[in-house]
Structure 1
Amino acid sequence: MTELDPAWRAAHPVALPTGDTSKDGRGRLLIVGGSQGVPGALLLTGEAALRVGAGKVKLATIAGAATGLGLRFPEAAVLALPEADGEIAGGAVEVLMPLLERIDALVLGPGIVDAGAAAGLVRGLAGADAPDCSLVLDAAAVACAGPLCELLGGWGGRIVMTPHHGEMAALLDCDKDAVAADPVKVAVEVARRFQAVVVLKDSATVIAAPDGAVLHYAGGGVGLGTGGSGDVLAGVIGGLLARGLPPLVAAGWGVWLHGEAGRALTGRIGPVGFLARELLPELPGLLPR
C-alpha cells in the first residue's frame, strides 16, 4: 500500500497548462445529477472541477433547477433534463448520449436521491460509444451499480468510483460493517470486478486500481464529514480526468487535494464547522506551481 506522500506526487505530477492551451484543451467535463431535494450539489461539483484547472464544465440537471443553477454559476453551461417526481427522468439518456463524443470526462450521480433514477441513467449510458471519455460514478450512481457491472464493461479502465462505506455496502448488497472490517480487500475486489479505480472514502481513504495497486490517504480531518464534501471530491477527480490524467493518478491527486483543503480549513477555522463550499478556494493553491 502506497501513501500519497511527496514521493508519490513527484512521481505522478500534474503539469501546468502551456501558455497557448485553450479552455477546450484544458478539458471538457459534463456533470449529470441533482434533484428537487438536492438542487445545489452540482454547483459544488462543477466549481471544484474548474478550481483544479478544467477548461469547460456543463451541468445537466432537472428542468426545475437548471435556470437557478445557471444564474448562480455563470462560469458553467447548463442543460435542462426531463424531470419526473423531482428526479431526472428516463428521457434524459437520449438528450445526453450525443454529448459524450464532445467531452473528456463525465461525472454521474451527485445530488441524485432516487436509486431508480440513478440506475436508469447508468444503465442507459453504459453502452455509450465514447472511447475518449472517462467516467466518475458518485453517490447514488455507485450504490446502484452492483447489477450493472457487465453493462459497464465498455468503460473498463476509464471508470473511477467514489463510494463511502454505505454506498459500497449497497453496491455489494452487504452490511456496512462488512465493508469496514476490511476496506482494502473490498476496494481491491470491486476495482478488479468493475475494472475501475475505486476510491473508498472514510476517515482514511483507500484507492484501489484494477491491477491490485492500492494507495492510502490518512485523512484530512473530521470536518470533511459534512454535507457536500463528497460532491466536491467528485468534481476534483472529474476535473483532473478531463485534463487528461490517468484514472489512478486523478483519483490519488483528487483525494489528496480534497483532504489537504480540509486540513487547511481545520487549521484556520477549527476541526469542525467549515462548509463544503469553503473547500473550493483552497484547491488552486494546493496544485503544483
Structure 2
Amino acid sequence: MTARIDRSWLEAHPLPSLDDAQDKDGRGRVLVVGGAEFVPGALRLTGEAALRAGAGKLQLATVGSTATALGVLVPEAAMIALPADENGEIALEAADILVERIRRCDTLVLGPGMTAGERTDVLVARLLAEPDAARSIVLDAAALTSARDLAAQVARHDGRVVLTPHHGEMARLAGLDIGQVKADPEGVAREMARRYRCVILLKGGSTVLATPEGGLHRFEAGCIGLATSGSGDVLAGILGGLCARGARPATAAGWACWLHGSAGRILSERIGTVGFLARDLLELIPQLLHGKMRTP
C-alpha cells in the first residue's frame, strides 16, 4: 500500500522538537560538498535551504577559486576551500581534507553542482567509506549516480543514506531505460531502496518515497514551476537540514518533499505557473514549517 504524504502524514511523523536545543550545535551541523567553477552558486541554494529548515551550523566546501565569493553570498556559513583539477572540478586530493570534516558533522549533503565522471566516482566512494551511526548522508545529483556500483558500501550505513534522483538519474543508477522508470516508479524505487538499504526520494510531478523496509509513500506536487534550475539543490538542502535536526531519514525526506512542493504551489499562485526561481522557495520554508502559511 502506498501512503500519501499530506498533512495527516506529517502529523503522524512529526519532526523532533527543538525545545531542548540550547545552542546551534543542538540544532545540528550540516556539511555541504559540491560546486565547481562552472556552477559556483549551487551550494548557496543548498546551504541556505539547510539553515531555513532549522539546522544550527553550516559548512560549505567547494573549489578554492569560488569559495570566497560564496562565503560572501552566505555569510552564515563557514567555508572550506578545496583543490580543483584542470577542469575546475573538486580534485581527488580534496578527500583528505573532507574526511576529517565529515567526522565532525551530523549530516553530509554531497553532490550539488558536481559533474558526473570517474573523478566524482572515486571521490564519492572515498567519502562513503566510514559509516557512523550518528551521521546521515544525502547523495544528490552527480554524487548519487556515482553510487551506482556502491550498493554494498551505501548499505553499510544502515538506512542513514538518502538518494534523491529524478527519473533520468534513477535510470543511470539502476541500469534501466528511462521508460522503465517512468512505467513503474514505485517498483523501481522500492527495489533500489531494498538493494542499497537506503531511503529513495524519486523526484517528479509525483514524487515517490521508498524506505529500506519496503515502505512506499507518494507526494503529488503537481507544480511544473519546480522543474527549474536549482530546484533540486534547494530540496537537498531542506532534507539535509531536517536530518541534522535529528529527524530520521525517511521522515526528513517526506517533510522535505512536502515543504518543497508546497512552496512551489504557493509561488505558482503568487508569481505564475512557471517563471519563479529556485531561490524564491527559500524564505517560504520556515513559514511552512511553523504553520504560518496557508497551502493551496
What TM-score does the superposition give when structure 2 sets the normalisation length? 0.95
Q: Where does 1:248-259 land on structure 2 (aligned, <5 Å)? A: 248-259=250-261
Residue 105 of structure 1: CA displacement?
A: 0.4
* Equivalent residue number for residue 165 of structure 1: 167
Matches within 5 A, 1:108-119: 108-119=110-121
Task: Please give the secondary structure, in 2, of the residue aligned with 1:270.
Answer: coil
Instruction: Report the Cα offset of residue 131 of structure 1.
Output: 2.5
| Residue equivalent to 2:101 | 99
- State the partner residue of 2:46: 45
1:12 aligns to 2:3 (yes or no): no
Give the equivalent residue in structure 2 for 1:265: 267
- Residue type at the aligned position of 1:9: L
Matches within 5 A, 1:128-167: 128-167=130-169
Among candidates 227, 233, 236, match of residue 235 of structure 2: 233
Tell me, yes or no, if the aligned pair for 1:220 and 1:261 is still in contact at 8 Å: no
Q: Which moves more between the two structures, 92-101 or 161-170?
A: 92-101
Deviations 1:138-159 (A, max 9, x none): 0011112111112223212100
Q: Could you tell which deviates more after superposition, 119-128 or 12-21? A: 12-21
Tell me the percent identity.
Answer: 51
* One-letter identity of the residue aligned with 2:146: C
Q: CA RMSD in A?
A: 1.2
For this pair of structures, how many residues does the alignment match?
289
Deviation string, structure 1 residues 202-256 (Cα, Å, up to 9, x no partner): 1110000011101100015100000000000000000000000001000000000
Alignment pair present for 1:204 and 2:216: no
Q: List structure 1 runs of 4+ shifted beyond 3 angstroms.
A: none
Unaligned 5+ residue runs, structure 1? Answer: none
Once the two structures are TM-superposed, the CA of residue 5 in structure 1 deviates from its matched residue by 1.6
Q: 3-state DSSP class of the match of 2:115?
A: coil
Aligned mates of 1:102, 1:172 — CA distance in 2: 32
Quickly say closer, same or farther: Cα 1:28–1:20, change in 2 above 3 A.
closer
User: Is the 1:220–1:262 contact (alpha carbons within 8 Å) kept by the matching residues of 2?
Assistant: no
Contact 1:39 1:65 in 2 (8 A): yes
Secondary structure class of the residue paired with 2:156: helix
Q: C-alpha distance in 1, partners of 2:233/2:16? A: 24
1:170-249 correspondence runs (5 A): 170-249=172-251
Q: Give 1:15 shift.
A: 4.2
What's the TM-score, normalizing by structure 1?
A: 0.97
- 2:294 corresponds to which residue? none
Cα separation, 2, equivalents of 1:209 and 1:117: 29
Q: Name the SS for the 2:279 alignment partner.
A: helix
Distance 1:237 1:220, change over 3 A: farther
- Aligned residues of 1:30 and 1:60 also touching (Cα < 8 A): yes
1:81 lines up with 2:82 in the alignment:
yes
Residues of 2 paired with 1:19 and 1:250: CA distance? Answer: 19
Matched, 1:57 2:58: yes
Q: Identify the range of structure 1 (144-153 vs 161-170) with the bigger mean alpha-carbon deviation.
A: 144-153
SS at match of 1:155: coil
**Structure 2 Cα separation of the partners of residues 265 and 228 of structure 1:** 15
Partner deviation per Cα, 1:38-90 (whole Å, 9 max, x = no partner): 11100000000000100001000111111110011101111011110211111
Partner-residue secondary structure (3-state), 1:18: coil
Q: Deviations over 1:90-127 (max 9, x none)?
A: 11111011122211100000000232232122111121
Which of 196-205 and 108-117 deviates more? 108-117
Please give the alpha-carbon distance, in whole angstroms, between the structure 2 residues aligned to 1:260 and 1:52.
14
Which secondary structure does the structure 1 equivalent of 2:80 belong to?
A: strand
Partner residue in 2 for 1:27? 28
